[in-house]
A and B are shown apart, each in its own frame.
Chain A
Amino acid sequence: MPAAEPPDRDRKQASGPAGAPGDAELVRRAVAGDGAAFEGLVLRYETPLRKLVYGYVLDWEVAEDVAQDAFLLAWRKLGGLAESAAFKSWLYRIAINRAHDELRRSARWGRRVDRNVGAEALAELPAAGAESAVESRLQRRALVRALARLPKSQRTAVVLKDVAGMKYVEIAELLGCPVGTAQIRVHRGRRRLRRWLDEPRAGEGGGTR
């Protein structure tokens, strides 16, 4: 499954591709003021981080912005990273937090925009293809909103598993919880998403959580 590739590739990257310095070495050099070393880390994790954030925001441009923000924050706080070998998990957690913020913002915005944009577009473009495209967009936005309504722990687990394609072991490691807990969170998150998206009007009401 192609979605399972990123984490495996990330693991190789964390220890450094053949001949390339590992994360810990790059972090040490970056903390010492080597700007190129940190840019090496940016290059190494740029794609996995964009994918991770995309799982939340479902927009590549926004994902790029959020990922850059996450790198900037990591660069500023790098001196406080106690264990340089743990850079990857630390960076992912920063990105996840930023993505949560962005998701909340976009969900609030989307709630207002969806009805207007969707209704107008459907009225102006009655062709079947256009309708399906608009519906697809609406479904994505609804998914973003539904994700935003999930408790943070379930949201993270679902995105990491079902969108970023991570394995349960990796999710558990990243979130610092047992594998069983990660599985339960994914299961419960999916169940809620199904309920809300199958009954969109019920999901709209909000305030049930």
Chain B
Amino acid sequence: MREERKPRGAIRATRESVRGPAGGRADGPAPEVEPEARGWRDVDALLAELREECAAPPAAPGFVAGFRARRDAWLERAGRAAPWRPLALRLAPAGALAAVAALVVTLGSGTPRMAPENPAAAPEAAEYADPFAAGLEEAGVATVATLDDEAGYELLAVLYEPMGGR
């Protein structure tokens, strides 16, 4: 079970012979050596020391009370979070973003309007002199000024009407 261990005394003797009897500190000011480099007991001795401590743990009279406190705190948090949970579960991040965007658009545009069934019934659309519409045309993205063009009208209805219709 146990591994072979070097005699502890031998290891110490070797280290002392390297560092001197007091780690080289007795003859003058302490050298500028970091504490970690001063020398170490062997790992087995350190582990044995820990094992002894571990075998006799201090009493923990408040352990169960501490567990209860954690459990109650968790229950309280879970209870507070519960009303929101169904909504949070239903709304994925993308869905939540889309819902917020839809809400903003709805509030910003006032009464929702439907596009007229007959394009000719909305002659004002052709009169809009708007740099955005002109830009669209210049960029060749869409035709927006021709009421005869059904595609252009639809674009006006979607992008333009909320601003120009008022």
Contacts and interface: CB of A to CB of B under 8 A. Distances in A.
Partners in one complex: yes
Interface of A: 2-3, 5-6, 39, 42-43, 46-47, 50-51, 54-55, 58, 60, 64, 67-69, 71-72, 75-76, 114-115, 118-119, 122-123, 126, 134-135, 138-140, 142-143, 158, 162-165, 168, 187, 190, 193-194, 197-198, 200-201, 204
A123 B30 CA distance: 9
A110 B53 CA distance: 21
User: What band does the interface of chain B fall in when counting residues whose beta carbon is under 8 Å from A?
Assistant: 20 to 34
B34 A163 contact: no
Judged by DSSP, the binding face of A is helix
B51 A42 contact: no
Interface stretch (B40-48, B113-121, B129-137, B157-165): B40-48
Interface string B23-52: 000000010001111101111101100111
22 contacts: A3-B51, A42-B67, A46-B60, A46-B64, A54-B54, A54-B57, A60-B58, A60-B60, A64-B63, A72-B67, A118-B35, A122-B30, A134-B35, A138-B35, A138-B36, A143-B43, A164-B54, A194-B43, A198-B42, A200-B36, A200-B37, A204-B36
A75 B71 contact: yes
Contacts of B141: none
A67 B34 CA distance: 35
Interface of B: 1, 3, 30, 34-38, 40-44, 46-47, 50-58, 60, 63-64, 66-68, 70-71, 74
B70 A114 contact: no
Contacts, number: 113
Contact of B63 (A42, A114, A119): A42
Given A46-B63, A54-B57, A71-B67, A193 B43 contact: yes
A143 B46 contact: yes
B1 A165 contact: no
A162 B70 contact: no
B58 A139 contact: no
Contact of B57 (A50, A118, A142, A198): A50
